[in-house]
């Protein structure tokens, strides 16, 4: 049996940019993606902590160290600059892998810079 588990989460990054006329995705600072083990094109779920809205999209790499969190395309309608998100990635794993996976939590400051990376 395969299970879908939460693999990693970026805790409360702030939206810094909206680009409505774009193919669609969530742009994430490359350093945050690396810390959270998220690859370009990887399917994501995001939760807007200000509206309670949840949406799915995929990751696009933004310049490393930029602090950029950008909603692009239709997702730009789902938040405002300054809103905080939870960005969640999942993995499909075997029962054996599920027991060892653990959740990687990336916590950021007000400038979307990494404060800590923990494994739960």
Looking at 1-120, which runs of residues are DSSP E strands?
2-14, 17-19, 25-29, 43-48, 54-62, 69-72, 84-94, 104-108, 114-119
- Go through the chain and tell me how many residues it has: 120
Told to judge if 58 belongs to the known catalytic residues of this protein, a careful annotator would answer: yes
* Catalytic position from the list 8, 21, 22, 25: 25
Distance CA 117, CA 95 (A): 25
Does residue 32 sit in helix, strand or coil?
Answer: helix
The residues carrying an active-site annotation are: 25, 58
């Amino acid at each position: 049996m395969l299970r879908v588990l939460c693999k990693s989460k970026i805790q409360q990054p702030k939206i810094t940019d909206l680009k409505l006329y774009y193919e669609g995705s969530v742009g994430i600072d490359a350093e945050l993606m690396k810390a959270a083990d998220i690859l370009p094109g990887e399917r994501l779920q995001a939760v807007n902590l200000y509206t309670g809205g949840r949406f799915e999209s995929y990751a696009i790499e933004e310049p490393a160290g930029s602090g950029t969190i950008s909603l692009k395309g239709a997702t730009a309608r789902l938040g405002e600059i300054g809103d905080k998100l939870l960005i969640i990635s999942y993995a499909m794993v075997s029962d054996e892998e599920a027991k060892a996976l653990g959740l990687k939590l990336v916590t950021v400051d007000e400038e979307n810079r990494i404060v800590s990376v923990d494994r739960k």
